[in-house]
Amino acid sequence: MTRAILDLVASAYAGVQQNESERSSLVMAHRVRIMNYIEAHLGDPDLTPTRIAEACRMTTRYLHHLFSG
C-alpha cells in the first residue's frame, strides 16, 4: 500500500516538467494540491488513493486520471 502511494508521488514528479506545457493550469493545480496532501500525510498508515481523493474533493477515478500516462 505504501509502495503504491510512493509510486503515485514518483510518477507525479517524473512527468511535471515534460507535461507542464501540455496540461491546463487547473490540472496542474490539482496535481500540486494532491502532491502536497500526500507529502503532508506520508506517515499516515491509512493513506490510500481513496482517502487522498476524498480529502481533495474528487473521485478516485479522476485522481488516477490526473496521474495517468
Q: Give the model confidence (pLDDT) of 2-44 as tens digits.
A: 777 777 777 776 655 555 555 678 888 999 999 999 999 999 9
* pLDDT for position 25: 85
**Domain residues for 62?**
2-66
CA distances (Å), origin 1, targets 30, 33, 41, 48, 68: 22, 21, 14, 7, 18
Name 66's Cβ contacts closer than 8 Å, sequence gap at least 6.
Answer: 27, 30, 31, 34
How many structural domains are present in the chain?
Answer: 1
User: For residue 35, what pLDDT is reported?
Assistant: 96
**What is the predicted pLDDT for the residue at 30?**
94
Neighbouring residues of 32: CB distance < 8 A, sequence distance ≥ 6: none
Whole-number pLDDT of residue 24: 79
